[in-house]
């Protein structure tokens, strides 16, 4: 989806796994109970896009949502399959339940095939992020300290808490399996959110990039946050957009 004809270019990419059974690495029943929320990144991106359009912000918006279901079927991915991504990088599929980064990778490669001032991806990507910060905070990654400062200020102003996690370069070798260029589920045992973020960064060009690894769900009723699906990070980004994109004040 594209909207707007003038101003800086913003590309939003949202993981849209409409339901995630785990594929052939089948989740147990308890693990599937919340998996209708695996499109939380796509939903949040759509919500943010709606806010941008409703406010008629002076920018050029592009929204990319890879929408899929991860289910068992005759043509389902198998463990140890080798995929060739849109960017040409090969990926060894060591866990069919790590499907979100596969669809995001191609969407990010597509996003970066044209000039854009900022790329933001949002995804319910890893349980490791929830273990690290719990369900209330939206963890994010960026290599740009100016973008991080702008986002933190926007988050405070909008009462939409975010927390920066590191693109820790020394973990790069962990996502390289030796057979293919990349491993979608390294057996490192640590830093699952960081290694997933490093995987996605391989598919981004030179464009400024922010990645959110959100939970997208409120476990219990909270003030202004009823139990169920919830957008995380969208209001923070909206509040920060003038600084993120050097636009006039909203």
Q: What single string gives the DSSP state of each residue in 109-151?
A: HHHTTS--SEEEEEE---HHHHHHHTTT-EEEE-S-HHHHHHH
pLDDT tens per residue across span 122-140: 999 999 999 999 999 999 9
Pairwise CA distance, residues 69 & 38, whole Å: 9
The pLDDT assigned to 109 comes to: 98
* Number of C-beta neighbours around residue 246 at 10 A: 11
Pairwise CA distance, residues 250 & 247, whole Å: 8
Cβ(119)–Cβ(111) below 8 Å: yes
Q: Which residues pair with 90 in a beta bridge?
A: 84
Stated as kind and residue range, the H or E segment containing 61 is strand 60-64
Query: Pick from 245, 243, 193, 215: which is nearest to 43 by CA?
Result: 215
Catalytic residue numbers, as ranges: 27, 101
Stated as kind and residue range, the H or E segment containing 107 is helix 100-111
Query: Pick from 137, 136, 104, 135: which is nearest to 120 by CA?
Result: 104
Query: Pick from 12, 219, 16: which is nearest to 102 by CA?
Result: 16
The residues near 59 (Cβ < 8 Å, ≥ 6 apart) are 4, 6, 7, 8, 9, 10, 52, 241, 245, 247
Paired tokens of 132:
């690290």
Residue 15 DSSP SS3: coil
pTM of the model: 0.96
pLDDT band at residue 226 under the 50/70/90 scheme:
confident
CATH number assigned to the domain covering 2-80+97-172+191-245: 3.40.630.10
The pLDDT assigned to 248 comes to: 55
pLDDT band at residue 176 under the 50/70/90 scheme:
very high
* Domain residue limits, the chain: 2-80+97-172+191-245
pLDDT band at residue 4 under the 50/70/90 scheme:
very high
């Amino acid at each position: 989806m594209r909207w707007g004809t003038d101003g800086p270019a913003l590309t939003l990419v949202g993981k849209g796994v409409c339901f995630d059974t785990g594929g052939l690495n089948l989740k147990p029943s308890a693990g599937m109970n919340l998996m209708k929320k695996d499109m939380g990144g796509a939903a949040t991106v759509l919500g943010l896009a709606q806010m941008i359009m409703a406010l008629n912000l002076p920018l050029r918006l592009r929204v990319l949502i890879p929408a899929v279901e991860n289910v068992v079927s005759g043509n389902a991915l198998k463990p140890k399959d080798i995929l060739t991504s849109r960017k040409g990088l090969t990926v060894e599929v060591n866990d069919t339940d790590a499907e979100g980064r596969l669809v995001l990778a191609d969407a990010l490669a597509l996003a970066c095939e044209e000039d854009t001032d900022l790329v933001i991806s949002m995804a319910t990507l890893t349980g490791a992020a929830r273990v690290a910060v719990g369900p209330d905070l939206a963890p994010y990654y960026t290599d740009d300290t100016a973008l991080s400062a702008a986002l933190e200020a926007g988050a405070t102003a909008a009462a939409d808490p975010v927390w920066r996690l590191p693109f820790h370069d020394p973990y790069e070798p962990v996502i390289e399996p030796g057979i293919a260029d990349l491993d979608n589920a390294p057996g490192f045992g640590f830093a699952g959110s960081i290694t997933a973020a490093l995987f996605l960064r391989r598919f981004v060009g030179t464009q400024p990039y922010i990645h959110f690894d959100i939970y997208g769900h409120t476990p219990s009723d909270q003030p202004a946050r009823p139990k169920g699906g919830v957008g995380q990070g969208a209001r923070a980004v909206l509040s920060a957009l003038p600084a993120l994109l050097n636009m006039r004040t909203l």
